[in-house]
Amino acid sequence: MRQVVSRADLVLSPSRFLRDHFVRWGVPPDRILHFANSIAPGLTPLPLATDAATIRRFGYVGNLHPHKGLAVLIEAFNKLVDVDVTLEIWGAAFTQ
């Protein structure tokens, strides 16, 4: 997980606790955006890529439990049209 997170251009953190972990893992603090309760006020859309070599990759890193909202994220990405983006998912499902 450290390798994945450290290569990101921007990391969105839903908690300060997790933000602090990212910093300890080597992510520069200026590449981490903390937003409480999954609301990021002032977050603006990324401009479209200007050349074919640019790939916009988004990643989800975390548990694959339904309450994490991964299905909502996948549904949102499936609705994107005429946008060259990819979604990569890293995580594990734990059963009890």
Model pLDDT for residues 38-64, shown as the tens digit of each residue? 566 666 666 666 666 666 788 888 888
Over range 15-31, report the average pLDDT. 88
Q: Could you give the percent of the chain with pLDDT greater than 90?
A: 7
* Identity of the amino acid at 8: A
Does this model's pTM top 0.75? no
Higher per-residue confidence, 3 vs 42: 3
From the CB of residue 32, how many other CB atoms can be counted at a distance below 10 Å?
18
Give the pair of three-digit tokens for residue 1. 């997980």
- Is residue 75 very low, low, confident or very high in pLDDT (cuts 50, 70, 90)? very high
Q: Is the pLDDT of residue 72 over 70?
A: yes
